[in-house]
Amino acid sequence: MIKEGMIVGERYEVVSKVGTGGMADVYKAKDHKLNRFVAMKVLKQEFREDTNFIKKFKTEAQAAAGLTHPNVVNVFDVGESQGIHYIVMELVEGITLKEYISKKGKLSVKEATSIAIQVSMGLEAAHNHGIVHRDVKPQNIIISTDGKVKVTDFGIARAASSNTISSNVMGSVHYSSPEQVRGGYSDEKSDIYSLGITMYEMVTGVVPFEGDTTVSIAIKHLQEEMEPPSDYTPDLPYSLEQIIFKCTQKSVDRRYPKMEEVIADLKHSLIDPQGDFVNLAPLNTDGKTVVFQGEDIDAIRKNNAIKEVPPLAAEEDYYDSVEDEPDEDYEEEDEEVTGGGLNRRLEKAMTIGGFIIGALIIGVLIVLIGNAAGLFSFGPGGDKSDDKIAKETQAPESDMVEVPDLVGKTEEEATGIVKELYLGLQYTEEETSDTYAKGLISFQEIEPGTKVQKYTTIKYKLSSGSAALPLPDVVGQQQETAERTLKDMGFTVSTTKSYSYEHELGVVMSMTPAAGTQSVAGEMVTLEVSMGSEYEDSVIPGVIGMDETAAKAAMAAFNVIVEYAPSDTVPQGQVMAQNVAEGISAEKGSNVTITVSSGPESTATPSPEAGESQEPDETQGAQEGDASGAWKCTQTLDTPATYTGGMVKMELVQDVNNSPVVDTIMEGKTIDFPYQLDITGQPGVSEGTLYLYELIDTDYVELGHYPISFQKAE
């Protein structure tokens, strides 16, 4: 029984349970050796008794542990302790793709394509290491809080399917390939099929095959064609729909052979959404009549591939010789049409003709397939009267062509150029360029002027335009907000963290390069993020010389008591003294008193000379003389920009006889803004300053201070 606080494998402390699945429970744990949090997947009790399964489980987990990739949930450790079999993995904070689709209904084309590319890259890395996932589905794809997409549970599906446990539970059979539900061999093309179903769900919000039982869904994978995703999403780009179709072909031979081709087409679809570049193999035509056109016959003559088969004219002569050949049996029995020589002659002619036609068809297929694949270098022959054919085949050099200069051309222009030279093109990726406009070819893999064989494929990159952008100022923002802003602009973000008494936990304190620096998309931006105070017993900062607001922020870890005193040398509002010296260690939340200047001490008003009026002027009466009755403020406070809805505290500061008086108006309550004040102030004082605070964790943080006025209540 796993309990919180339990130590597994002498190093992993169980913190909490974060999820459960068909085979295992998942716990958040702390690795005390490396001082980090991890995810620990623990096999359920019913799977711990089968030693064969446990052996395969460990083998597959160890194989997955050798796989390290940004789009894969990395496996750190696998082991057994006190009868508990576990796998330790990277802890990814986020939600599964299944939860994300359920939350949003369906994803945008750009978002779905981005996720599919990242999943494909993770699977490609696994396939390159000889690891097939076998259970690709949205439930096994995690989107982290920083937007990174990661695939998890490598190897576990294989261990499960090799035992009596069925991996095709209801949650998996929706994404299983036909060969998997049939119980046959599955390889990386099975992962491609499951990825296609996952892409279908991302852009439509539904899976293509539904049913009441796993068997009924499995049969649909084998027998039924899925509805086009564009039926659910009419604005779905043509190219992305074709990619989904190619991934989900029931025949493995018609799917993408490798993940790298899926990635290339997905990237291509982002820049050419309606392009017709996905090569979907035609349906198998075995057993159907194949009709060869004139150009097919010309191709045979041109390449002279079937030298042992005579030309068509010679075939006619051959048939004539068969018919004219004397046949003694025919002469003797020429009246017996059904049983004599005529039938035998026809049978011979048909047999020979059948062999010739069969050889011709086989030759045509060999020539067409070999010609398309660039496997043949045909010598002179065929129709000698065709000058063009003779010219093309008179020397081996004719199979070599010079690579043209495609840089600076559009894809359409480049396609036209290479088509005439019998060369191919393959898009690889976008890159930024200050030289070539967006959409122009900025790089080709084979240098112009290089001699290559016909049908060679030239890989190229497209310019995404200049990416020099000024870095935005994110200092003072929360880490999550700052990272999102920079990543949305295409920058890569890294963080360093340090303790600070002046900045709240999670606030960006500085950035490198500095805000405003012209930077290229993809460049690394490093953010320094505050970890708050370092110690539980924090060090008192020095605040003398700061204004009152800054001093309170610097001492946010303590309960700051403010006292006011006049000063002829220290400006009003500035801290003159603190009761605990700078650098002293004190417990968080303890009282610290600061003394703030209230300005120069007022000169006493001279007594009136004899005979002068003793009545105060109107201003003096308003401030001090008319102290009868109640003085009220009923102004309205708007919502502070940084208010998050927590409990608030209000303090009123008024100057009475040149000394500040502080009254707590409210504390520990939540209010709705705009808020109507109803405050009674000091008698005869018509002005004051209202300080508004919000309770953040255990401390009140100032939201702002506002000048308010009071009037005598009638």
How is the beta sheet containing 699-709 ordered, strand by strand?
Answer: 659-669, 648-656, 687-696, 699-709
Residue that the structure tokens 């922020």 belong to: 553
Radius of gyration of the chain (CA): 41
Q: Quote the CA–CA distance of 14 and 7 in Å, as a whole number.
A: 6
DSSP assignment of 423-477: -EEEEEEEE--SSS-TTBEEEESSPTT-EEETTPEEEEEEE----EEEPP--TTS
Start-to-end CA span in the chain (Å)? 73
User: CA 638 from chain center: how many Å?
Assistant: 39
Task: Look up residue 494 and give its two tokens.
Answer: 């890294």
Q: Are 97 and 46 in contact (CB under 8 A)?
A: no
Q: Quote the CA–CA distance of 442 and 463 in Å, as a whole number.
A: 5
Beta partners for 440?
410
3-state secondary structure of 197: helix
Output DSSP code: residue 140.
G
3-state secondary structure of 243: helix
Helices 294-303, 341-373: crossing angle, 10 deg rounding: 80
3-state secondary structure of 545: coil
Q: Quote the CA–CA distance of 572 and 451 in Å, as a whole number.
A: 83
Amino acid at 219: I
3-state secondary structure of 391: helix
Helices 109-128, 188-204: crossing angle, 10 deg rounding: 170
Helices 188-204, 259-271: crossing angle, 10 deg rounding: 30
Element containing residue 373 per DSSP (H, E) = helix 341-373
Q: Quote the CA–CA distance of 481 and 433 in Å, as a whole number.
A: 29
Q: Quote the CA–CA distance of 623 and 626 in Å, as a whole number.
A: 7
Of the candidates 638, 637, 634, the one whose C-alpha atom is nearest the C-alpha of residue 710 is 634
Of the candidates 388, 418, 387, the one whose C-alpha atom is nearest the C-alpha of residue 401 is 418
Output the furthest CA–CA distance in the chain (Å, rounded).
173
E strand map for 455-574:
457-463, 468-470, 492-498, 508-512, 518-520, 524-530, 537-539, 559-565
Output helix, strand, coil percentages for the chain, rounded to the nearest 5. 30, 25, 45
Do the bridges between strand 492-498 and strand 524-530 make them parallel or antiparallel, or are there none, so unpaired? parallel
Element containing residue 42 per DSSP (H, E) = strand 36-43
Element containing residue 63 per DSSP (H, E) = helix 51-65
* Active site amino acids: 135
Q: Quote the CA–CA distance of 693 and 650 in Å, as a whole number.
A: 6
3-state secondary structure of 688: strand
Q: Quote the CA–CA distance of 484 and 481 in Å, as a whole number.
A: 5
Of the candidates 599, 473, 478, 590, the one whose C-alpha atom is nearest the C-alpha of residue 539 is 590
